[in-house]
Amino acid sequence: MLVRPYIKDGESFQSYLYRCARLNSWTDNRLKQFLRAEVAPLYSYKADDREKLKNWLSNISGRSKVSSLIDVWLFYSNFKEYFDFSRFKICPSCYAESSRVIPAYWHLRAYLVCSEHKTLLTDICTSCGENLTPESVIAGKCLSCHTDIADFSTKRVKPDIYSNVAYDVFESCKEQEIFSRELERSYIPLLKSISILAPLTGLASEIGYEYKQRRFLSIEQLHQYQFSSSELYQSSEKLSECLLKVVNSCVSVGRVSLANIFLKKAKDFEDDDGSFFRQAIRELIMSEKLDHEELTAGLSWVARLFKYDEKAFIQFVEKEYSSLIMRKPRENILVLHLPEVIKTFES
Ligand SMILES: [Zn+2]
Ligand SMILES: [Zn+2]
């Protein structure tokens, strides 16, 4: 390798490798073929292959710091679903300002809006729509219309919490182990709220999120979906409004069980990461905004939601509120006028 660039701040292993290839006029194809024959497959997720690739780049570039760069493909085994391995996305402004550095956290699936520029990342050429690929990144330009990637246009949007937290947590992260640890400790638990909240907004079916494969959705659509969840996560008022709408639309078609409305989400919100959601449902129930003439609630479900001792709670209701109980064969014991029951039980 004739040209051996310096490693830049915030650079991932992929970023440095692609810059080296570009400055030495290698194409993606040539790089892949060479590595497969001489070192290890470039897109292998096996740890020993990753090690070989790093050692090779370290030797050939003469930069020992290569060994400490974050290698995105090392996340493949444990965190596959949190990264984009087939979609390549960048912030054109950051890319231009940093002279083509691509940080590891840009590969996070939920990182869709640049926190610095408040613009949407892009995975396509903004002039002609051609996909951005490692090949075009190595070339530094769109392979179809030859627009320089640094000249791609940007689109301002409101950042969502999942993009912002990704930036806050990982932007300054320079080590593979710390990156993994932070993913597990703080980021993945936060991401669970997307699957709880986004489906409540109705936007999911609008953009086809439920039945289309993710890769067929644009970054803009993914951001809409993620943003709808972000808004609910950050405002208990909006979440409460949204929950009220969901319940009322069910009530409008007749008497309905609260548990049935939220049961699909039960698995998600019973653990600690869903406690904000549990709290919102509790508040809604106790706010008396709901029509409790029409709403029933399974006692076991209520006990789980309010963290009561199930047996004690059921015994209490059977004794004190037998007139409100409706028994259904092979089903839960259901009760009407839940807020009244709860207030008395808690007092
Ligand atoms: Zn940016
Ligand atoms: Zn193009």
pLDDT at 136 over 60: yes
pLDDT of residue 330: 54
Each residue's pLDDT tens digit, 177-204 = 999 999 999 999 999 889 888 888 877 7
- How much distance in Å is there from the Cα of 89 to the middle of ligand 1? 11
pLDDT at 332 over 70: no
161-175, 180-194, 261-275, 284-298: least confidently modelled range: 261-275
Higher-confidence residue: 287 or 230? 230
Amino acid letter, 296? T
- How much distance in Å is there from the Cα of 130 to the middle of ligand 2? 5
Amino acid letter, 193? S
CA distance 239 to 161: 15
Q: What is the pTM of this model?
A: 0.89
pLDDT at 120 over 60: yes
- Closest by CA to 139, choosing from 150, 154, 128, is 150
**179, 170 Cβ separation under 8 angstroms:** yes
Higher-confidence residue: 213 or 123? 123
Which ligand is nearest the CA of 163, by number?
1
- Closest by CA to 108, choosing from 200, 180, 53, is 180
pLDDT at 329 over 60: no
In DSSP terms, 83 is beta-bridged to 108
- How much distance in Å is there from the Cα of 132 to the middle of ligand 2? 9
Span 53-75, mean pLDDT? 97
Which ligand is nearest the CA of 152, by number?
2
Average pLDDT, the chain: 90
pLDDT of residue 248: 87
- How much distance in Å is there from the Cα of 139 to the middle of ligand 2? 12
Higher-confidence residue: 95 or 216? 95
- How much distance in Å is there from the Cα of 180 to the middle of ligand 1? 23
Check the CA dihedral 212-213-218-219 and report its sign.
positive
CA distance 289 to 280: 13
pLDDT at 260 over 90: no
Which ligand is nearest the CA of 146, by number?
2
Each residue's pLDDT tens digit, 8-49 = 999 999 999 999 999 999 999 999 999 999 999 999 999 999
Each residue's pLDDT tens digit, 140-156 = 999 999 999 999 999 99
Q: What are phi and psi of 298, to 5 degrees?
A: -70, 135
Which ligand is nearest the CA of 154, by number?
1
- How much distance in Å is there from the Cα of 86 to the middle of ligand 2? 19
Q: Would you place residue 326 in the very low, low, confident or very high pLDDT band (cuts 50, 70, 90)? A: confident
Residue carrying structure tokens 């940093």: 98
Span 69-98, mean pLDDT? 96
pLDDT at 305 over 70: yes
Which ligand is nearest the CA of 89, by number?
1
Span 276-291, mean pLDDT? 87
- How much distance in Å is there from the Cα of 143 to the middle of ligand 2? 7
- Closest by CA to 119, choosing from 218, 12, 219, 190, is 219
Span 251-272, mean pLDDT? 72
Write out the chain in H/E/C secondary structure: CCCCCCCCCCCCHHHHHHHHHHHCCCCHHHHHHHHHHHCCCCCCCCHHHHHHHHHHHHHHHCCHHHHHCCCHHHHHHHHHHHECCCCCCECHHHHHHCCCCCCHHHHECCCCECCCCCEECECECCCCCCECCHHHHHHCECCCCCCEHHHCCCCECCCCHHHHHHHHHHCCCCCHHHHHHHHHHHHHHHHHHHHHHHHHHCHHHHHCCCCCCHHHCCHHHHHHHHHHHHHHHHCHHHHHHHHHHHHHHHHCCCCEEHHHHHHHHHHHHCCHHHHHHHHHHHHHHHCCCCCCCCEEEEHHHHHHHCCCCHHHHHHHHHHHCHHHEEECCCCCEEECCHHHHHHHHHC
Which ligand is nearest the CA of 136, by number?
2
**27, 46 Cβ separation under 8 angstroms:** no
Check the CA dihedral 119-124-125-126 and report its sign.
negative
Percent of the chain with pLDDT over 70: 93
